[in-house]
Chain A
Amino acid sequence: MMISPLLAAADTAGVGVAPAWVLAIPFLPMLAVVLTTLCAISKNKTKLPAWITVGCLAGSFVVTMLAFMTLSGETNTVTAWRWFDLSWGDGVGQQMVANLGFYIDNLSLLWMMFVTGLATLIAIYASEYMEHDVGKGYTRFFFAFALFVFSMLCLVMGDNLLLLYLGWEGVGLCSYLLIGYFYKKPEAVAAAKKAFIVNRIGDLGLAIGVMLTFVHFGTLEYAELFNSAQLQGYIAAVQEGRAGDVPLMAQLIAVFLMIGAFGKSAQFPLYVWLPDAMEGPTPVSALIHAATMVTAGLYLIARMLPVFLVSEWALPVVAWVGTITALLAATIGMAQFDIKRIMAYSTVSQLGYMFAGLAFLTSTGGVFHVVTHAFFKALLFLCCGAVMHGFAGQLDLRKLSGLWHMKGWRIVSVGMLIGCLNLAGVPFTAGYFSKDMILAEAFVTPGYGYSLLGWVLLLTAGMTAYYTFRVFFRVFTGPVQFEAGDEHHGSDDHGQDGHAHEDHAQGHFHPHAPGIRINAVLATLSVLAVLAAGLYFVSPDKHGWVGDMLEESTAHNVYTADHSAAAMFVIDGDTHGAHGHDDHGHADDHAAHGAHGGSILGMDPHKVMYYVSAVFGLTGILIAAWAHGPKGLVSGFIGGRVEAGKCRMDGVAAKLGPIPRWAENKWYVDEFYHFILVRPLRVCSHIFHMIDKLLVDGLVNLFGYLPRLLGRGAQPGQSGVLHGYALSMAGGVGVILFIVVMVTL
């Protein structure tokens, strides 16, 4: 082994060497971790940790942009150092190499850009948001924040699955630390534990997937894996319609990786942790639980798409699960009253869209939605956070109204409006374009009931628009009314910051409008969320900028794996069969759209979807306006709400019987899990406990007992008497010499 830091990873075809300065991207956040630790040690009581974090993250973002400008379109790796390298023979699969190396291609660049960019903005926001906790808690917050960004970058940039796994666990840990940030609050601790445990199930899947990958392909490095003849062979087999030739093991890899992705990205049935995770500070919800960490599962599937393509079931399962999640979460979101939770459910729902998008074999749609969603959902969360910050923790939409008309809240309101328009998919917003792409592909892609999924997703789009604008109309429009929350966003030190909060005990409550830093971040994000729509027009022939980006990466793999699609390729001609995974001509794919004639109402889905989804979205908004809109918005049909707590929907809900209540109680999924998992587990555990006592304990005790017995036997030798030792030593030397000589000579 040679110690050459910055040793180039590979001569593998098509993989170049990235310059060493790329290493600064993950290591600047690491520097922030180190510096905040030093702040903690020196018991710093200023806002220094925040500025350290912001500085390092901004540096990281700048370097990322540089990397984007110089390296995009190529696949490069850069190795910091050989992390470990084990070999137990010379054959394939007998050497395991995992470098601390980074794999820079367009897919990772995309993630790196929005992770570092959003992290910088949210760190600025948090520097104001968390200032009531300046001191130990503040430092702890930014320590975990910077560590999160580092882990996330490891996850995204790692050039092997092991580093991805390390980052995966790292973000899980940071998420746990940050959800449980208000550790004196029992709900926060319970939520942190829930998130950790549910994620464990997913992580187990990922771990098994990684191990199987190594066992089957003999490598964990992307460069080697994607170029391996084995994988290429499988892809070719699938393309030629011989999917049965792919060994079961290779297919299982995708399934296990998928379980990992479902856990981290909060998909059915593992989504239950995400809404509870909102107990954490809002900047955390925005960064980790809306924009970045929860998209790790998407990244995993996009990154490993070639492996997913060789499995017959993995992607259809992803599509179905994604759609079910989208629908389920949207129905729950419609009935919630806590605005942060509504946003949480909408995140789960939108993640479902993205998964469905990936599974419809248009990584472009899925990933585009990841990017646009990252911006507008972060914006929405930060607006909610500003509300929560200003109203002493009040999040109930029945107790807030008319913020638009209040002094100092205009930027928040505009930001919220922009976010809501995006989320609802109103025409010409970024969310509209990205969602349309997914919806259209659902109808285009032949598969196991995909067009049904398309209709379900359309319906969900309408529901999304409804619950989004329900929040907006209730909280931001209408008469100015509010009640303060009963706590200061979970902070444990109540009276420290002196604004307003002492007053409200006496009935006076002055909400405090966000300060300059929060407003600046909200404004920036609003602009970015609006501009994100422009990405669609950058390379229109390739489905926008994201499509253009992905074309150069392994995630670009449109229409190659599905059965019927594969069959069609064979009929189509020889152009496709021979394609490797990363050199598809996109024009060919485009031409293929028509060929396997998915259609909606007999028209080209991509065109018609613009109108259909716009209709669904606007209908949702109209219903929201009718039910929740304020009086006088447009006199007559719309609005009519004059109080914060009452609206037309109450009457409708009363007629629907118990259904709204069920939805409000999240369809009793938590209770269901408790009933079918926790309760039987308890019973089982009692049974196992008995078996354990009798049998396993016996064995373990034996294993524990034998060494003890041996020790007891040897202990008299340690008599503490000098000549006893001398005798034992001399005797021991004699005996051992005798034995050794007798045996060998």
Chain B
Amino acid sequence: MIATLAQAGFPEAMSGLTLYHYLFISAVMFVLGLIGFVTRRNLIVMFLCTEMMFQASGIALVAFSRFYLEYTGQVFVIFVLTVAAAEAAMALALVVLLFRRNESLDGSVWSLLKG
């Protein structure tokens, strides 16, 4: 499983320490995204925060992929990017629609349904 890239003459495997650096970055990005999502009111910024969380996973995936010397993780990232692009399109459409209704991008305006 692990040997595929090495056999193709690829450089040596990534060290465990380097991997943890990447994972740390990814975790920080994920948490920052989460915090941003929770604290910000603007819908566009909130969406960008989820994008950041997606990309945090992307970093982790690429790092693991490099660590295991195989492509699967990188392929996964491509798919993640595709889905993220689709979500971005939807988010923008939604934001436009909502702005037309309320002339505001504040997420807390939409709080009539509750209980």
Contacts and interface: CB of A to CB of B under 8 A. Distances in A.
Given A730-B34, A730-B38, A723 B108 contact: yes
Nearest to B111: A720
Contacts of A727: 38
B41 A723 contact: yes
Contacts of A723: 37-41, 46, 107-108
Contacts of A721: 107-108, 111, 114
A744 interface: no
Nearest to B49: A726
A720 B114 contact: yes
Nearest to B34: A730
A571 interface: no
Contacts of B38: 723, 726-727, 730
A719 interface: yes
A718 B34 CA distance: 20
A741 interface: no
Contacts of B107: 721-723
Max chain B C-beta neighbours (<10 A), residue from A715, A721, A722: A722
Contacts of A718: 114-115
Contact of B110 (A715, A722, A726): A722
B1 interface: no
Interface string A438-458: 000000000000000000000
Nearest to A722: B107
Q: How many A residues are at the interface, by size bracket?
A: 10 to 19
B34 to A, nearest CB: 5
Contacts of B115: 715, 718, 720
A721 B114 CA distance: 8
A213 to B, nearest CB: 50
Chain B: number of interface residues, binned into ranges: 10 to 19
Interface in B51-85: none
B46 to A, nearest CB: 8
A720 B113 CA distance: 6
Interface in A379-431: none
B111 A722 contact: yes
A498 to B, nearest CB: 61
Contact of B112 (A720, A726, A730): A720
A720 B110 CA distance: 8
A730 B111 CA distance: 19
A715 B34 CA distance: 24
Nearest to A721: B111
A733 to B, nearest CB: 9
A730 B113 CA distance: 21
B111 A719 contact: yes
B47 to A, nearest CB: 12
Contacts of A722: 46, 107-108, 110-111
Interface in A689-731: 715, 718-723, 726-727, 730
Interface string B21-55: 00000000000001001111100001000000000
A722 B50 CA distance: 14
A670 B39 CA distance: 76
Contacts of A720: 111-115
Nearest to A720: B114
A726 B46 CA distance: 10
User: Considering residues A715, A718, A723, A730, which has the most beta carbons from chain B within 10 angstroms of its beta carbon?
Assistant: A723
Contacts of B46: 722-723, 726
A478 to B, nearest CB: 79
B94 to A, nearest CB: 12
Nearest to B110: A722
Interface in A555-608: none
A369 to B, nearest CB: 67
B37 A726 contact: yes
A718 B39 CA distance: 18
Contacts of B34: 730
B98 to A, nearest CB: 11
A148 to B, nearest CB: 48
A727 B40 CA distance: 11
A731 to B, nearest CB: 8
- Indicate the member of B34, B38, B46, B107 with the most A CB atoms within 10 Å: B38
Nearest to A719: B114
A702 to B, nearest CB: 24
B55 to A, nearest CB: 18
B109 to A, nearest CB: 9
Contacts of A719: 111, 114
Given A719-B114, A720-B115, A721-B114, 4 more contacts: A719-B111, A723-B39, A726-B37, A730-B34
12 contacts: A718-B114, A720-B113, A721-B108, A722-B107, A722-B108, A722-B110, A723-B37, A723-B40, A723-B107, A723-B108, A726-B37, A730-B37
Interface of A: 715, 718-723, 726-727, 730
